[in-house]
Structure 1
Amino acid sequence: MAVEWSGLTPDVLLRLDRQSPETLGSQLQNALRTAVREGRLQTGERLPSSRKLATDLGVSRGLVQATYEQLEAEGYLRAFGGSATRVAFSPQSAVTTLSKPTPVARMEIDFIPGRPDLNSFPTRDWLWACGEATRTASATDLGYGDPQGSIRLRCVVAAYLQRVRGAFAGADDLVICSGFTQGIALTLAALRAEGLTSVAVEDPGHQDMHTLVRRAGLTPVFVPVDDQGLVVDELVRTKATAVIVTPAHQTPTGVVLSPERRLALLRWAERMNGVVIEDDYDSEFRYDKQAVGSLQGLAADHVVSIGSVSKSLAPAIRLGWVLAPRRLVARIAEEKNRSDRGSPALDQLALARLIESGRFDRHLHRMRSVYGARRGVLVEAIGEHAPNLELTGLAAGFHALARLGETADEAGLIAAAAQRSVGLQGLGRYTSPNYQGSPAIVFGFGDLNADAIKRGITTIADLLRQHA
């Protein structure tokens, strides 16, 4: 389908060489033929008027009219009285078509982890914040700005992290980034520049973490996780001097790093002059009690804490932050500047206004109730239909881990559920090749209402019982 350009007449890039022995008319004809053959001008696309093209090229209108008539006679163009001249035909080989993505089977009920309830996005509040940001933005705000990010947003986020996460944070300790993935990439690049060669990651852990480490030119070292979180004694046995952890709500087991392990981890970092990278991905959502504070608040010189609004608002708002030791901030900001010259300024100002106004806290309070209720429905449904299935982890976030029997066929269960249009994800997606733990299913419930959760578990109840 040809693009229909708005406006009185479209522009088209054509070049004429007045030093060439070839006449201008012949050059113009050949240039238009080539543009059609190569697909730069597609079937049905409108050409500039003869007057406009003549002015643009500095030639007579008659020359352009004669060119259009010649190409119309050859079948390249077509013209109608009182209407624009358009491309009549593009060779099949030159037509540019969008490649069709490989179709993915859409499940009627999908327990995909890590997906927030996007239907509950606070649209009115975000529109209000965007309006406020646009109305009050200065000319300076609309420039490239500080690669660390908007000073206003950094001040707001620093205050928020101190208030909610117990962090030790000031505006100068923060770099605004485009979500966790960029935040970890910037941090690893900065550490690599300091001589780091390997990074410890949790096993099981974030399914893309080892890939992100390798992409940064570093070697991932897998360290096991048990019911108290990262096994620090195993970390000590490695040569790694940096580790990436999810201490408040481990991905995917859902456990919290125990107080003893927290202290042991921080002692390791101090002894090794190492760095703990804290993925603070869904710390806002704990339902049984107040969430544990950030590790960064206990050891600001050795902890990099990375957060974002992907879970609290929506992944589409590509904003996050890196709270880092002062010695790393400048290098991380330099990496950010090289990467993209800074995150969108107006979005940063809008997020700052949303948090300042109290609307962000109000949204979190409401979603905490929603997700907590959905987790309760999942626990109740599994308890009713597969009582022997062991659910582990905190009453937090929007996923829960269900341990299967030692000999259960994790992949077989997932495939059988898919046949019934119920999407499941297995623990195997989160583990290293050497992982020795029992199979499990990671149930996401953030984007499913209570009725869908009940129907999904009921639909696969017999499968769950078989594998419990």
Structure 2
Amino acid sequence: MSEGSIAGLDLHLPLSGTRPARSLEDAIRSLVSTGALPVGARLPAARALAADLGVARNTVADVYARLAAEGWLEARVGAGTWVAAFPAAASQAGTRPAAAPPFELRGGLVDASDFAFSAWSALARQTLAELPGTAFSYPPTAGVVALRQSLATYLARTRGVAVGPDNVVVGTGFGDLLSLVCRALRGRGARRIAVEEYGHERHRRIIAATGLEAVALPVDADGAVIEQLEGADAAAVVLTPAHQFPTGVPLSAARRRAVVDWARRTDALVLEDDYDGEFRYDRRSIGALQALAPDQVVYLGTASKALAPAVGLAWAVVPPAWRAEVLSQREAGGAAAAGIHQHVLARFIDAFAYDRAVRRRRAEFRTRRELLEGLLAERVPSASLHGLAAGLQCLVRLPADVREEAVVDAAARRGVAVQGLAEFRLGDGVAPAGIVVGYGAPSPARAERGLELFVEALEAAVEGR
């Protein structure tokens, strides 16, 4: 057997010494069928490939001709030989992701196609042109200084966070920073952390992976029941105080004061997940809990909702007493956020492009929520919409005799993906029947139709159709 390496395009082509043409044909067909040679790739000229492999030029030319006749390749006069868009190759590749539901209405998701492409790309070009060479080295463990300064100013202005640049730690996402803080807690001997009974299963898996046990706090109309922290033996609690995920209720003022008092008395830590605090529609957003107790609260935010998950940046405002341990966990785990992205986001914030992106999405999401509210009132008045007029999702409470599974199934038959409230609950208890409807993910052109189809599915489930 011999192998060739082709100048300009590296390919692994095992050839048989006795049957070079057949083995070359099989090798190219295999690369195309698995997607290793993608549609539109240009193959080396027959003469160049023959010289590299040590075979006759006619051998390569005949193989190209046979594969072109079968539809694997495309010979373009004067332009060489290319991989063709061959249906069989695509079906055999097995690497294409499963098709997404036509209408994605699960909670907590955003329309990534609505990203501020023009502003981001312009600022990215400007940033790359103006950054000094030192900026392309490894970023500081806590994050690029420029971004930490920009975030400190922005968070103080928009969310009332008590913060200076030295308090900010930049990460790759909420889960990344949650893991850092939980590992720091575990390093101090913590065993248990309280969480709201409804929330992201992924976040609970992250907590478990750090060695902490998650204990559930009930959630009612005033948010998490803080009184139950007294007997929970927890060293910390994770809350979504501005807009509980996914029920949508805010933590009441009395319970905000109560959790701060508990944290101070027990020297515990509060992890404030402000995942959509910027998206309040009925009045000015509720300020950050962190401002009540900067020494006891870790404030956590992310760019994924205002911009897009692919930006890959999040931030934690860490009390001074915890900063060294959180940074130690970052150094131990690696995977710091990309420095160039941090510089671009800093410019994006300083240019108020981040504010504009939030305002644009706030207006769009408000319209979608109002549309859903109107459709429910008109077509399924026995169901009710709950939670603040805020965020990227809402909770639709179902009539007593309607099961969540029936609504989810009816929606799926119409090409709509939603989730029942029970999917978000920690533990095996009985949750009130409800559907979490996310209105952030569909594109503007498809949002209205997706919400109409969901209400149609809900109406069918209520009527037993």
- Aligned-pair CA distance for 1:97: 5.4
- 2:321 is matched by which residue type in structure 1? R
- 1:256 is matched by which residue type in structure 2? P
What CA deviation, in whole Å up to 9, does each residue of 1:42-73 have, x standing for no partner? Answer: 588979999999xxxxxxx9xx88x657xx89
Q: 1:330-345 to 2 correspondence within 5 Å?
A: 330-345=324-339
Moved more, 419-428 or 239-248: 419-428
Q: 2:459 aligns with which of 454, 457, 462?
A: 462
- 1:426 is matched by which residue type in structure 2? G
Q: 1:369-384 to 2 correspondence within 5 Å?
A: 369-384=363-378
Q: 1:425-436 to 2 correspondence within 5 Å?
A: 425-436=419-430
Q: Which residue of 1 aligns with 2:153?
A: 159
Counterpart check, 1:260 vs 2:254: yes
Aligned Cα RMSD in Å? 3.9
- 1:361 is matched by which residue type in structure 2? D
- Aligned-pair CA distance for 1:257: 0.2
Q: Which residue of 2 aligns with 1:349?
A: 343
What CA deviation, in whole Å up to 9, does each residue of 1:220-239 have, x standing for no partner? Answer: 11111111001011122211
User: Structure 1 pair 420/37, CA: closer, same or farther in 2 (3 Å)?
Assistant: closer
What CA deviation, in whole Å up to 9, does each residue of 1:247-269 have, x standing for no partner? Answer: 00000110000000001111111
Determine if contact 2:414/2:453 at 8 Å carries over to the other structure.
no
Determine if contact 1:389/1:464 at 8 Å carries over to the other structure.
no
Q: 2:212 aligns with which of 208, 213, 218?
A: 218
Q: Distance in 2 between the 1:428 and 1:317 partners?
A: 31
Q: Distance in 2 between the 1:387 and 1:46 partners?
A: 62
User: Structure 1 pair 458/426, CA: closer, same or farther in 2 (3 Å)?
Assistant: closer
- Aligned-pair CA distance for 1:193: 1.4
Counterpart check, 1:131 vs 2:119: no
Q: Distance in 2 between the 1:203 and 1:179 partners?
A: 22
Q: Which residue of 2 aligns with 1:89?
A: none
- 1:126 is matched by which residue type in structure 2? W
Counterpart check, 1:199 vs 2:196: no
Determine if contact 2:406/2:461 at 8 Å carries over to the other structure.
no
- Aligned-pair CA distance for 1:461: 4.7
Moved more, 312-321 or 179-188: 179-188
Q: Which residue of 1 aligns with 2:228?
A: 234
Q: 1:395 aligns with which of 378, 389, 396?
A: 389
Counterpart check, 1:365 vs 2:362: no
TM-score (norm 2): 0.81
- 2:197 is matched by which residue type in structure 1? D
Q: Distance in 2 between the 1:417 and 1:144 partners?
A: 48
Moved more, 211-220 or 258-267: 211-220
- 2:382 is matched by which residue type in structure 1? N
Q: Distance in 2 between the 1:228 and 1:118 partners?
A: 32
Counterpart check, 1:406 vs 2:400: yes
Q: Distance in 1 between the 2:45 and 2:458 partners?
A: 65
Determine if contact 1:405/1:438 at 8 Å carries over to the other structure.
no
SS in structure 2 at match of 1:140: helix
TM-score (norm 1): 0.80
Q: Distance in 1 between the 2:416 and 2:48 partners?
A: 61
Determine if contact 1:111/1:444 at 8 Å carries over to the other structure.
yes
Q: 1:96-107 to 2 correspondence within 5 Å?
A: 98-101=94-97, 106-107=101-102
Q: Which residue of 2 aligns with 1:21?
A: none
Determine if contact 1:147/1:336 at 8 Å carries over to the other structure.
yes
What CA deviation, in whole Å up to 9, does each residue of 1:301-350 have, x standing for no partner? Answer: 11111100100111111001011111222222232234345211111111
- 1:196 is matched by which residue type in structure 2? A
Q: Distance in 1 between the 2:336 and 2:25 partners?
A: 39
Q: Distance in 1 between the 2:378 and 2:138 partners?
A: 56
Q: Distance in 1 between the 2:46 and 2:8 partners?
A: 7
- Aligned-pair CA distance for 1:459: 2.3
Q: Distance in 2 between the 1:374 and 1:320 partners?
A: 26
Structure 2 stretches of 5 or more lacking a match? Answer: 66-78, 81-91
Counterpart check, 1:279 vs 2:241: no
Aligned sequence identity (%): 31
